[in-house]
Structure 1
Amino acid sequence: MRLSSTDIRYFLDEGLLKIIGDSQHPFSPKEQIRPGSVDIRISNIFWKFNKKNIEQLDIIDLHQAKAILNNPELMYLKIELSDGEHLEIQPGEIVLTETLEKIEMPHCLSGALKGRSSFARLGISIHCTGDYINPGYQGYMPLQIINHTPIPVKLYSYLSLAQLVFYFLYSRPDINYQSLPDTIYNSKRCNTEGLSLWFRDKEIEKLSTRISGGKFNKHTEDKLQLLISQSEKRLIKQIESEFQRKNIKKPEQIEKALESYENKDIRRDKKMRFVFWVITLVTGALLSVFIPELIKVISNGDTQNPEFWVYLISLAFCIFILWITFDYKYIGF
C-alpha cells in the first residue's frame, strides 16, 4: 500500500518516520509534503567523473578501488556550491550527489526516490536505477543526476529535484537493515556524499578473489601494505646513504651497487641471526645458573642478602635479552 499525505503526516507526527534537513534548510512538511509523496532536495556537494586521472575502471580491481576510497579525487572532481552558484552539466554527463534531507525509515515502511515530472520534461533524471530505500534505513540517499538533453544544463544546490514515496509493509521484516554485517551503506559505517562503495559488495569481493587469487581480507591486506611500505622506506634510506657514501651516480654504477648491496645485506642478516642465536644460548646457560640460586636464596628467606638482588637483576636482564633476540629472529626486524 502506498502512503498518502495523511499517512505520511501521521508517521512523522508519531516520530516513526524522520526527514531531517540541515540548520539553514530545515525540512518543511507544509511546503514539501504532496498528496502521495514528499519533495526532496539535493545537496550542495557534487562529484564529477575525472577522466584525466583514470581512463578505465575495473570493478573487480580492489587495489584500484582502495586507492579511490583513500583519495576520491583520483576518479572524481569534487564541487561544493554556495547559495546562488550553479553547476553546468554537459549533454550525456552524470553527476553524483545525495539528498539534503537525512531519511530515517521505520521497519514497517520502505520507500523509493522518483524524479519530479517538471525536471523529467527537461531531460533531467535523478538516478540510474538505485531508487529503493530499505525498511530501517538511516542516512542520505545517493543521486545520479544525468543530462539527457543535447544542450548543457545549469544545476543549482538545494533544488527539489526528487520526490520520495512510501510503501507500507503488512508484516515486520525479520531482518534489521542497520544490523546486517554486509550492509554496504549502513549509516553507522560510512558517509559517502553520494559516491559508490561497489567494492564492498560481497559478490565483487568473491569475483575478485576467484579471478586474482586473492587470499586476504581487506583489513589484513591493509596491514601488510603498511608493513611493506614502512620496510621500503627504511630500505630506500639505507640505499641512498650507501650511494652517497660511495659517490655512485652513473646508471651502470647503480646496477652493480644494488647487486653488491643485496649480497651484503643477505650476509649481514645471516651474521646478525648467528650472533643472536649465540646470545640466546649464552643467556639460556646463565639463566640455568641464576634461577636455581635465586630459588635457594628465596627458600632460605634471605631476601636482604645482596646476592638476592644480584640474581634478580641478572634474571630480569637475561629475560630482556631473550625477548629482544626472539623478536628479531621470528619477526625479522
Structure 2
Amino acid sequence: MILTGPEIAAQVKGGAIQIAPYDEQRLQPNSYDFHLGERIGWYTDEVLDCARENPFEVHTIPSEGMVLEPDRIYLASTRERIGSDYYVPIIRARSSIARLGLFVHCTADLIDIGSYGQLTLQLHAVQGVRIYPGLLIGQVTFWVPLGDIVLYDGKYQGSDGPQPSLVHRDLEAR
C-alpha cells in the first residue's frame, strides 16, 4: 500500500518519516519531490572492478549547471536526508526529468527500511543533458511493509553526498 501526499505529511509531522529539509509544497498526490544536491561524482577508470575499490572523484555542480554525457554513470545525492523505520521509500525520476532521457536511478530504486541519509542517485543520460544544483529531479514514495521489520544497518547508513559502490566489501567478507 502506498501513502498519499497528505498521509506522507502526517507521518513526517508525527516523526515516522524523516525528510530534511522538508517543504510541504513538495508534496504530490502520492509522493514527495526531492532536489538534486550540490555534489556529483564519477569513476575515473574506464573498466570498473567489483572486487576492488574503484577510483572515484567528487565535484561540486556549478551554479551554471553541468552537462551529463551519455555512456557514463554519474553518482549524485539528494539535497534532502530521507528515511523511515516504518515505511519503505522508493525513488523515481520526476516525469519531467524522465522526458529529457535522464535516468535518476539505473536499477536501485528501493531504499531499505531503517536507512537514513542523503540518497545516492545513479544518473545516466540518454543524450547530453544539463543539470543544476537544487533541481527538482525525483520523487520518493513510501510503502507499507508486510511482516516483521528488520531495520537496515548496512555500509551506506548515514550517507552524506554521493557514495561510490562498496560491493568489494561483500567479496572481502566471503
TM over 0.5: yes
Residues 77-135 of structure 1, C-alpha deviations (whole Å, 9 max, x = no match): 422135x32111123332111111001312x2111001111111111110111110111
Give the conservation status (yes or no) of the 8 Å contact 1:44–1:157: yes
Matched residue, 2:90: 112
User: Any unmatched runs of 5+ in structure 2?
Assistant: none
Structure ID, larger Rg: 1
Matched residue, 2:47: 56
Give the conservation status (yes or no) of the 8 Å contact 2:4–2:29: yes
- Over aligned residues, Cα RMSD in angstroms? 1.9
Cα distance in 1 for residues equivalent to 2:100 and 2:126? 8
Matched residue, 1:78: 58
Matched residue, 2:151: 176
Note closer, same or farther for the CA distance 1:86–1:192 as it changes in structure 2 (3 Å cut): closer
Structure with the bigger percentage of strand: 2
Q: Secondary structure at the match of 2:163?
A: coil
Give the conservation status (yes or no) of the 8 Å contact 1:86–1:154: yes
Q: Which has the higher contact order (CA 8 A, sep 6+)?
A: 2
Instruction: Kindly provide the amino acid, as one letter, of the partner of residue 4 in structure 2.
Output: S
Instruction: Kindly provide the amino acid, as one letter, of the partner of residue 196 in structure 1.
Output: S
Note closer, same or farther for the CA distance 1:87–1:9 as it changes in structure 2 (3 Å cut): same
Note closer, same or farther for the CA distance 1:199–1:28 as it changes in structure 2 (3 Å cut): same
Matched residue, 1:14: 14
TM-score (normalizing by structure 1): 0.49
Q: Secondary structure at the match of 1:143?
A: strand
Cα distance in 1 for residues equivalent to 2:50 and 2:61? 30
Shift of 1:20: 0.4
User: Any unmatched runs of 5+ in structure 1?
Assistant: 22-26, 69-74, 208-333
- Alignment of 1:28 with 2:23, yes or no, is yes
Note closer, same or farther for the CA distance 1:206–1:137 as it changes in structure 2 (3 Å cut): closer
Which 4+ stretches in 1 moved above 6 angstroms? none
1:46 to 40, 43, 47: 40
Structure with the bigger percentage of helix: 1
Residues 270-301 of structure 1, C-alpha deviations (whole Å, 9 max, x = no match): xxxxxxxxxxxxxxxxxxxxxxxxxxxxxxxx
Matched positions, count = 174
TM-score (normalizing by structure 2): 0.90
Instruction: Kindly provide the amino acid, as one letter, of the partner of residue 165 in structure 2.
Output: S
